[in-house]
Structure 1
Amino acid sequence: MSKINHFKGVLFDLDGTLLDTIGDITYAINSALIVVGAEPITTSQCKGLVGRGLKNALKGALELKNREVTPSQLEELVPQMLGSYHRHPYRHTHPYEGVEALLDDLAKEGIALGVLSNKADSLVQPIIRGVLPTHSFVFIRGDKEGWPSKPEPDGVYAFSEAVGVPVDQLLLVGDSEVDYYTAEAAQVDVAIATWGFRSRERLLEAGCRNLYSSVEELRKEVFPWL
């Protein structure tokens, strides 16, 4: 972390950072796997597949289960997965311990809060409304046609413009190497959670730094004035 106590805006990843969504993601992917007769994946296996959008997670699950499909077959399976997820977007989803208190305290300090996810925007919006309804995010952006996804820096720049805060006063908080690479591309400070979907070992192997094992540790080290 290059500086401390200077952030005017904090941009959060969603899955594995703010919310534990792995149960619902796993269920949605398995609803597509069953169509091709593949064995279901476990939540542990699913954690290693997410981060670059649900379509890529499904592709990874098919490869994990040794099911070869053509690009057109994959495209046919995606609606099955997304349809299942839209029907049950947050049945098993919940915030990580300490997340809601952190969001409340950051908002009280006048810090602009946003969410940037590679999950479909049509899922991100209802999940946040359903699971974090009392928190005021001034920027919420999921994956949508025409919007470059992480690790492209465009979403960070869009947040910066939306809240009127220069990138050197922003912090990106995520849980994967994708988030870390996004921060590098945008040249913003970054904090990476190991309480989410990636192990500390995998994150270190990917070159990630500024790792935090809990929301409480993040709070004490990065936001000590709260």
Structure 2
Amino acid sequence: MARHILNDRATVVFDLDGTLADTAADLIETMNVLMVREGVATVPVERARDVVGAGARAMIQRGFALGGRDLATDKLDRLFVDFLDHYAEHLAVKTRLFPGVLESLDRLEAAGHRLAVCTNKVELHSIALLRALGVADRFAAICGRDSFAYSKPDPRHLTLTVERAGGDPRRAIMVGDSRTDIDTARAAGLPAVAVTFGYTDTPVSELGPDVIIDHYDALFDAVAALDHGVTSAVA
């Protein structure tokens, strides 16, 4: 999928929702379709930080909880399937890359970094969305929650993504917006860069990432600083 053969630079692995792309509007509008159908008060996009960021199942559960409705497991399972069906047709209506993403990918690629995506979005939707946004071919691997038997915060989701990208799982950097991303990197023994503009309901400054950035203009320097001697404890 990637366009170049890379050198021994660290693999840079990105979360998707709230990190590479501002997906909240399309995610929440899809969830609200289900909530209207179920007679539950809808969630405004401004509440994205309260519901988005841990995958569709958790988002549905959180959204319905805000509307005063607890979901039994079988009901959540049915709503999850309906969510995936609707979202597949509406995943790039309002979604856009965050400012500076393209330029940052260009700089990282030119410097010899492998690029990958590790997200709790399903793989099919992740690939389709990144294609719609015109950047799928930038990534050597695009791995979702169903790509392996493990998903974030299990560190194997991250390390297996790096392996699929052709990188060394001991030499990688995670870029994300939430506790899930930072915890995943920590569990893998890898450094984490956190963006401040994502969907976490806890400020990333309280989550202990190695570097915090407010704009993608700062990512290249952050990666360069972390890449020097990056090695995890993964065997």
Normalised by the length of structure 2, the TM-score is 0.85
Aligned to 2:5: none
Give the conservation status (yes or no) of the 8 Å contact 2:9–2:114: no
Inter-partner Cα distance in structure 1 for 2:79 and 2:169: 38
Please list, as runs of the form range in 1=range in 2, the aligned pairs for 1:157-196 lying within 5 A after superposition.
Answer: 157-196=159-198
Q: Which amino acid aligns with 1:27?
A: E
Per the alignment, in what secondary structure is the counterpart of residue 149 of structure 1? Answer: coil
Inter-partner Cα distance in structure 2 for 1:97 and 1:185: 29
Aligned to 2:228: none
Q: Which amino acid aligns with 1:217?
A: A
Per the alignment, in what secondary structure is the counterpart of residue 181 of structure 1? Answer: helix
Give the conservation status (yes or no) of the 8 Å contact 2:123–2:147: no
What percentage of residue pairs aligned between the two structures are identical?
A: 27
CA RMSD between the two structures: 2.0
Give the conservation status (yes or no) of the 8 Å contact 1:103–1:135: no
Which whole-Å deviations, capped at 9, do the CAs of 1:135-172 have from their partners, x for residues lacking one? Answer: 42111101117531101011221133234433342111
Which one of 144, 155, 158 corresponds to residue 157 of structure 2?
155
Which whole-Å deviations, capped at 9, do the CAs of 1:165-211 have from their partners, x for residues lacking one? Answer: 33342111001010000000111111000022236x53234444522
Aligned to 2:78: 76
Per the alignment, in what secondary structure is the counterpart of residue 192 of structure 1? Answer: strand
Inter-partner Cα distance in structure 2 for 1:63 and 1:134: 34
Structure 1 stretches of 5 or more lacking a match?
1-5
Per the alignment, in what secondary structure is the counterpart of residue 144 of structure 1? Answer: coil
Give the conservation status (yes or no) of the 8 Å contact 1:168–1:189: no
Aligned to 2:24: 22
Per the alignment, in what secondary structure is the counterpart of residue 167 of structure 1? Answer: coil
Give the conservation status (yes or no) of the 8 Å contact 2:193–2:209: no
Inter-partner Cα distance in structure 1 for 2:112 and 2:131: 21
Aligned to 2:104: 102
Give the conservation status (yes or no) of the 8 Å contact 2:104–2:219: no
Inter-partner Cα distance in structure 1 for 2:115 and 2:41: 40
Bigger Cα displacement from structure 2, 30-39 vs 166-175: 166-175
Deviation at 1:223, TM superposition (A): 3.6
Structure 1 residues 197, 76: CA separation in 2 closer, same or farther (over 3 Å shift)? same
Aligned to 2:40: 38
Inter-partner Cα distance in structure 1 for 2:175 and 2:136: 20
Q: Which amino acid aligns with 1:51?
A: G
Inter-partner Cα distance in structure 2 for 1:103 and 1:74: 37
Which whole-Å deviations, capped at 9, do the CAs of 1:90-139 have from their partners, x for residues lacking one? Answer: 11011111100111121122211000000111211100111034642111
Q: Which amino acid aligns with 2:10?
A: K
Matched, 1:63 2:65: yes
Normalised by the length of structure 1, the TM-score is 0.88
Please list, as runs of the form range in 1=range in 2, the aligned pairs for 1:102-121 lying within 5 A after superposition.
Answer: 102-121=104-123
